[in-house]
Structure 1
Amino acid sequence: MAAALMSPTPFFRRFLTQRSKPTISCCSHSFKFKRQYTSVMIVPTGIGAAIGGYAGDALPVARALSTVVDCLITHPNVLNAAMLYWPMPNTLYVEGYALDRFAEGLWALQPVHQNRVGIVLDAGIEEDLRLRHLQVADAARASLGLPIIEYIVTDTPLEVEKWIDPETGKSTGRIRHPDSLIRAVRNLVNRSKVNAIAVVGRFPDDDTDDVDDYRLGMGVDLLAGVEAVISHLVVKEFKIPCAHAPAMSPLTMSLSLSPKSAAEEIGYTFLPCVLAGLSNAPQYLVNSSESTERNFISVSDVDSVILPRDACGGDGTLAFARSEKNKPLMISVEENDTVLNDTADKLGFETLQVSNYWEAIGVVASHKAGINPFSLRRNKIPNIGCASMHLNGHSISRERAIS
């Protein structure tokens, strides 16, 4: 694999001046005040990402990155690991549709202490499987103290359908009765005043052959694409945090199981991580420019964005990359390949390409410190260049003009 960090480009040099932080003197002491450093980590769902395409296997990256930045914004695909999760106080759990609107500057994020979480259960879930999910909810309330208020069952089975898009190779799908889901959420919101929603849809049970590659840590997550469709539908309609957990019959035990997929094999449901994430997910401010709230995060607060090298075509990524004001440093990770081929150069913008997440986190640490990351590499800082000025139509060097 080619060396990832290339020589400095005009793209990166802009950040050395645009992101400088002021030093403020107070009395006889000098205090350095820097605004919080905010990073966004994106691993699109259902695209077979080598890291983040399975059962929460990008969570270690998020954990490491969260110790370097002041605020990390990411989405359920990165943080959800079925029965497993990890609390990170400075990490915001933002659903994908909301993250796109945030990147476009249409929505802002309002951090909270806790949300009132409601659960929507698909009427198609069998009684024993429904009971398993309700026991998980009660366990989260009693053992974790999570603010889970009430549940509701849809008036009609959702009838989840899933497939692989033949053009892109990513997973997708639909629910045949979206109105039933909308009615259930509206009932919970109006009656119980919940402001975050966990949806549990009954997914069709797969033949073992269909999931063998996924269980071995290869291929595409067949569930992920339609899970995003479901949460997008709720967030678009109600503008509150939402995440989805699939309900399925347990698979037969496998003697050949990848550690990347193993989190989905250790319990009866995928619900615990969703409840933990939603319990303190930020609320969405739709008209942030008109808001009187002071404690919110807008797109102008984002300093860097990290994403797979060939998955740069999402709405949020394009919005970040094409921002004309306070454009964040875009970092693409070569090692995290996907089934897509949406590279930054094909889409007409630049990223700082690194080999892996080790390097990405190092670049973020340098950027936060106000240090050119190329100065940490061997022979990556060339002699300083000389700018030219034009006088009466003639180009002259800056040194000559000054003399």
Structure 2
Amino acid sequence: MSLTLNLPTPSFSPRYNNRTISCSFSSQSLKCKRDYTSVMIVPTGVGAAIGGFAGDSLPVARALSSVVDCLITHPNVLNAAMLYWPMPNTLYVEGYALDRFAEGSWALQPVHQNRVGIVLDAGIEEELRIRQLQVADAARASLGLPVVEYIVTDTPLEVEKWIDPKTGKSTGRIKHPDSLLRAVQTLVSRSKVNAVAVVGRFPDDDTDDVDEYRQGLGVDLLAGVEAVISHLVVKEFQIPCAHAPAMAPIPLSPSLSPKSAAEEIGYTFLPCVLAGLSKAPQYLVMHSESMEKGCILGSDVDSVVLPKDACGGDGTLAFARNEKHKPLIITVDENETVLDDTADKLGFEALHVSNYWEAIGVIAAHKAGIDPFSLRRNKIPNIGCTSSMPVNGHSNTRERVINCYKF
């Protein structure tokens, strides 16, 4: 006889290593626990209902960071143009680096501060260039950020952007990537920077082209190629990088979605990038010494939360296919994108929730070592039994294979 649970229980198996055990003593109790680490992903340029605009998933990150010990996320979640929010337990990790981290090939090394350099596209006009440099000076004087030097590329980068007709997401390219890489190399070798902000001159859009985005709808036309630019730098130099576009101001709109408003309250998108890069973790290629340097490893991740239909990224698939240290993967129905890459279609186990309220509640329970289903009405059935007694010389053990389940 074989009985199985109607609703599977997420894995709560502990994973200990030297980095994550912390012990504190008091007169009343002894507390020993491992840091709980969560990854929040909202892919760039895919029209995410929450996080597809101007830092509009930042409130989710703020709430989640208050529940977990360590939150790992990426610039698309944390950047809000002129706005940002410091969270001491949150790591600002570029998307390409996050994928390598999930695969286990790179580790994250937290820092106290980075030496940040700025690369300015030679195609930026003088007035726009001055605006970017004023942001850098303000960040140094008013925030004390270690922004040490800037450089102008030897050739205009010539940024191009478009919507991929097959997927509906935004993408693009720069015509002169070598010019960008030469500029970064100069900053790294001459000024010893270990984090880079890139400001590329983007084509100015007709108002009609951005009306939908300004109303909190559609896809961010800039985001896809911004990711292409930062991926290029991170892949080549293995240091933190983020991009801020330079564009001429567009006419004032009397009716603007709050989700898009952060990009229209100033002259540049650079403040949040400099703030994020100033304390972004460094990227280390995995080897035996990584454990000794207090690095965070992909195997330290306890949970991953992302939109329900955006599960096809390299990082998500790496987490999902890690049989030894697979985190709890939570997908959010309410955060729809233009993609159709669900956990069901990709064949891996995930916990579906309706919204980020539920996701944060599930993570709080998971961190506490509590089965999230025990918090729901009638979601814990009688315990099942799988028999392995041989019948007629054959085992009748039945494997339980469950891809996805609804919270």
- The TM-score normalised by the length of structure 2 is 0.91
**Aligned ranges for residues 113-192 of structure 1 at < 5 Å?**
113-192=112-191
| 1:106 Cα offset (Å) | 0.2
- The residue aligned with 2:33 is 34
The one-letter code sitting in structure 2 at the alignment partner of 1:189 is: V
Residue pair 1:334, 1:356 contacting (<8 A) in 2 also: yes
3-state SS, counterpart of residue 65 of structure 1? helix
- The residue aligned with 1:340 is 339
- The residue aligned with 1:111 is 110
Residue pair 1:24, 1:30 contacting (<8 A) in 2 also: no
The one-letter code sitting in structure 1 at the alignment partner of 2:220 is: D
Q: How many residues align?
A: 389
Task: Determine if the alignment matches structure 1 residue 294 to structure 2 residue 293.
Answer: yes
3-state SS, counterpart of residue 366 of structure 1? helix
Distance 1:250 1:214 in 2: 15
Distance 1:17 1:298, change over 3 A: closer
| 1:384 Cα offset (Å) | 1.5
| 1:387 Cα offset (Å) | 3.1
Between the aligned residues of both structures, percent identity stands at 80
The one-letter code sitting in structure 2 at the alignment partner of 1:154 is: T
Cα deviation, 1:102-133, whole Å, max 9, x if unaligned, reads 00000000000000000000000000110000
Distance 1:146 1:339, change over 3 A: same
Unpaired segments of 5 or more residues in structure 2?
A: 398-407
- The residue aligned with 2:376 is 377
Residue pair 2:21, 2:34 contacting (<8 A) in 1 also: no
Distance 1:352 1:253, change over 3 A: same
Distance 1:129 1:363, change over 3 A: same
3-state SS, counterpart of residue 129 of structure 2? helix
- The residue aligned with 1:328 is 327
- In angstroms, what is the RMSD of aligned CA positions? 2.3
- The residue aligned with 2:95 is 96
- The residue aligned with 1:206 is 205
Distance 2:26 2:91 in 1: 37
Distance 1:28 1:250, change over 3 A: closer
The one-letter code sitting in structure 1 at the alignment partner of 2:176 is: H
Cα deviation, 1:52-81, whole Å, max 9, x if unaligned, reads 000000000000000000000000000000
| 1:29 Cα offset (Å) | 7.7
| 1:373 Cα offset (Å) | 0.7
**Aligned ranges for residues 73-88 of structure 1 at < 5 Å?**
73-88=72-87
Residue pair 1:110, 1:297 contacting (<8 A) in 2 also: yes
The one-letter code sitting in structure 2 at the alignment partner of 1:197 is: V
**Aligned ranges for residues 248-287 of structure 1 at < 5 Å?**
248-287=247-286
Distance 1:235 1:88 in 2: 23
Distance 1:230 1:215 in 2: 24
| 1:18 Cα offset (Å) | 5.2
Distance 2:61 2:6 in 1: 26
Deviation beyond 2 Å, 4+ runs, structure 1: 7-10, 16-32, 287-294, 391-397
Distance 1:66 1:292 in 2: 24
| 1:286 Cα offset (Å) | 1.1
3-state SS, counterpart of residue 226 of structure 1? helix
- The residue aligned with 1:401 is none
Cα deviation, 1:277-314, whole Å, max 9, x if unaligned, reads 00000000113434463311000100000000000000
Distance 1:341 1:24, change over 3 A: same
- The residue aligned with 1:400 is none
The one-letter code sitting in structure 2 at the alignment partner of 1:96 is: G
3-state SS, counterpart of residue 273 of structure 1? helix
Residue pair 2:23, 2:33 contacting (<8 A) in 1 also: no
Unpaired segments of 5 or more residues in structure 1?
A: 1-6, 398-403
Distance 1:360 1:304, change over 3 A: same
The one-letter code sitting in structure 2 at the alignment partner of 1:296 is: C
